Amino acid sequence: MPPLRGPIAWGLALAFLASMGCRQSVEQQAAAMTGGKPARGKELVRRYGCVSCHAIPGVAVDGTIGPSLEGIARKDFLAGKLPNDPKSMIRWIRDPQGVQPGSVMPDMDITEQDGRDIAAFLYTLR
């Protein structure tokens, strides 16, 4: 297939660049809300094993024990009881047993900064 040229190619390129700008804006907003780094948070959900239980868009789709995290930024509540705000998100990530004793979500000894980074990444999942 020959490469695209002309107005169609430029239109596709502009659409792609516009979508990248929107994505960057979402990441900047998430970072500002949480004090975390979304790109680092994306790596941390792998490292901490969150993907073992959760389907996480852009990371893993096979976790079935916990809920899918697709669209979590748009949810009203976390764990069925916490308001979905950065402070609560970080708290839930770091201390699920303190929030909901007996929860299936394990306490992974996540540091404050790692919790912020993971929350920042999760707030990009709209």
**Residue 74 predicted with pLDDT over 80:** yes
Q: What is the CATH number of domain 7-122?
A: 2.60.40.420
Of 3-7, 68-72, 85-89, the poorest mean pLDDT is in 3-7
Domain segments of the chain as ranges: 7-122
pLDDT, tens only, 29-71: 999 999 999 999 999 999 999 999 999 999 988 889 999 999 9
Better-predicted residue by pLDDT, 18 or 62: 62
DSSP 78: E
| Residues 30, 47: Cα–Cα separation, whole Å | 20
The answer to whether the beta carbons of residues 74 and 95 sit under 8 Å apart is no
The predicted pLDDT at position 115 comes to 98
